[in-house]
Structure 1
Amino acid sequence: MSPLTHFDAEGQAHMVNVGAKPATRRVAVARGRITMQAGTLALIQSGTARKGDVLGVARIAAIQAAKKTSDLIPLCHPLALTRVAIDFAAKSPDGNWAGAIICTATVETTGPTGVEMEALTAVQVGLLTIYDMCKAVDRGMVMTDVRVLEKHGGTSGSYLAPAGEPPAP
């Protein structure tokens, strides 16, 4: 049997049966960043981007993405999410950053399976929305460092990303 749970004994992809697992509180936090020109960051912070409130739209897109994760990732279970919180923090030019926005997603549910994929999807779509809204002025933006920072709940217990991760906002 493969240690990868999305494959059966014959190696065929399948949706994991979580029917016998107890419903517990599940929480996942994911984070990523989008780097950009300093002028692009200033435009976003000023609220004068041509398409409107970039971070407001990106926040709604990220929340919607968390809710729609099972529509995007074929073997994810549809989950009744109890909380999706999206935080954006700007990093000013300082030598290490050309200019960046950090997106952090915290997703919660009470159920038989975790919400890591929902948190990761929220971050990615939030960052993609920033790119979409600002690409007219900066096509060189780069999305990086998307990963799970922590997860809690379930039989596997808690996970905290090792030290040395990208700095918190």
Structure 2
Amino acid sequence: MHASAQAATGFPNLESVTVPSGPSATPTALSLIFNGEYNQVFVTGYSHAVPVVNTAQPYTVLVPDVSVPLATYTGWNYRGSGHAIGEGCISNGAAIPFAVSTAAQAGGVDSRTTLNALYGGSRSRYQAAVAKAADALVKQGYLLQDDATNVFISNAAQVSPTLLPSP
């Protein structure tokens, strides 16, 4: 990501962060340097029988707010070695997990928060935060109650004890 875009969005600097990878969970450096590729989305007018694409009209892509995160989320991802190297998987975002604690925080180079700092290492605190955020979205009309209950709240109940070890 270009430095100016990174500063403007508040996206954290992840160039020195490593993540577990492979069967032995060997730390692997991230490679999330923005290369200038953008998803080409155009504004389409559906007011006529045949839709009209206006490629000159700017289109702003808004990123959803993640109220109860377990990771830093991106709107892009890159293919691994052996799979069209360097080409973007623009429609697939990445999730770079937060460290569980400061002791597990990549030798101090990862300046992001930890799961312990966010939720006190407690699955029940995480689940309560998800339920509160889902309920707020229901009240604002962005989410149906059935979806809040059956998708978000039930999925939060499945969070791994490895991430949040306390009940």
TM normalised by structure 2 equals: 0.24
More strand by share: 1
Between structure 1 and structure 2, the one with the greater Rg is: 2
TM normalised by structure 1 equals: 0.23
Q: Select the structure with the greater relative contact order (CA < 8 A; seq sep ≥ 6).
A: 1
